Amino acid sequence: NSTIDIDNLIANTIREDVRAGHIYKVPDASGYMKLDAMENPYELPDPLRRELAQRLAEAVLNRYPVASYATLKQKLRAKLGVPAGYDVILGNGSDEIISIVCTAAARQDKRSVVLAPVPAFVMFQRSAQFAGMDFVGVPLKADFSLDRAAMLAAIAEHKPSVVFLAYPNNPTGNLFDADDMVAVIEALGEHGIAVVDEAYQPFARTSFMERLPQYPNMVVMRTLSKLGLAGIRLGYLAAAPLLLEQFDKVRPPYNINVLTQVAAEFALDHVDVLNAQAASLNAARAELDAALRALPGIEVFPSSANFITVRVPDAERTCATLFAEKVLIKNLSKMHELLANCIRVTVSTPEENAVFLNALKASLDA
């Protein structure tokens, strides 16, 4: 054993791009007001939590989950509006679904491309890379709208197998124009799959889900994370059964654990409670948006999600001031040149939003 040099072992076994890469960074948030990860600040109400605790206590833990996940899938289809004739597969968060789609599409016999407008959710690029695919990012316009001509040109040039379109987009918060989205989906035709990522759909109240029958090369991805269940990690992908079958082949069996399954089924039985929380967060977003727009010297981008992106004079200083006030937000500056001096803040309770606003004001006055 002692003759093995661990650096040599890594050099001999681990892919070069992985060795050169970095671990997905999540800051330690203990003691901080957490406004950096688009979580719902509200818990399930206490009586429901007690009932859920009872269900979890009764869960069968010594057996593998029931592999079909039929009950959970049925509830997702029924409660979240999957059209008749369409089915879902489940992921350990939509993060895993993104990885599953890329793994299934990463051909070995030719260059395979994942394309997305950028700035985008970083896992599109990371999952494409880890699957061995090339990632092509097509810059949004300065107002964060989709650059339809550039998207169509890039599709013609790179012939992507997969295009991710987040609707609303993260980290910009806006909904792309639906006609631009359709132009992209139609341009892909039978050569590419359009994944409409509706992680923030509970706050946008608009969706491509009902258009599934119109566009056979489109699939719709959602998650329970932003609705208030980020901790249980459940994402799902809705699509035509024949296409889903292909993705299902690369999905690890039993990827949804029993506790998640029980908690998700319970939450879906009470989805009206979660929807009401989303509605109050939408009201809070409108208030926060108005308060931000009243501040001089900053640019507020319109949001249809549970976060707001803002351009400040000095994002570094603003984030440092907020950090000193124990408020965590995301500095987007380094992500993309379109995001110079932009910060992203999760919409939270009125109380937390007020703390954020005051700290932001202090950073602007400094």
Q: Does 95 bind ligand PMP (CB under 6 A)?
A: yes
Scanning 46-54, 88-96, 152-160, 356-364 for contacts with ligand PMP by CB under 6 A, the matching segment is: 88-96
Beta bridge partners of 18: none
Closest distance to ligand PMP from the beta carbon of 364 (Å): 27
Q: Does 172 bind ligand PMP (CB under 6 A)?
A: no
- The total number of residues written for the chain in this structure: 366
Sites for ligand PMP among residues 193-232 (CB under 6 A): 197, 199, 223, 225, 230
Among 235, 239, 345, 346, the residue binding ligand PMP under the rule CB under 6 A is 235
Element (H, E) at 180: helix 178-188
Angstrom distance (rounded) from CA 173 to CA 151: 19
CB-based closest residue to ligand PMP: 93
Sites for ligand PMP among residues 53-82 (CB under 6 A): none
Q: Does 94 bind ligand PMP (CB under 6 A)?
A: yes
Closest distance to ligand PMP from the beta carbon of 326 (Å): 22
Sites for ligand PMP among residues 288-347 (CB under 6 A): none
Angstrom distance (rounded) from CA 334 to CA 172: 14
Q: Does 192 bind ligand PMP (CB under 6 A)?
A: no
Phi/psi for 129 (5° steps) reads -60, -45
Q: What are the DSSP E strand ranges found in the chain?
A: 33-34, 87-91, 113-118, 134-139, 162-166, 193-197, 218-223, 235-239, 299-300, 307-311, 327-328, 330-331, 342-346
| Residue from 201, 241, 245 nearest 223 by CA | 201
Q: Does 166 bind ligand PMP (CB under 6 A)?
A: yes
Q: Which two tokens stand for residue 221?
A: 């991805």
Q: Which residues bind ligand PMP (CB under 6 A)?
A: 38, 93-95, 121, 166, 170, 197, 199, 223, 225, 230, 235
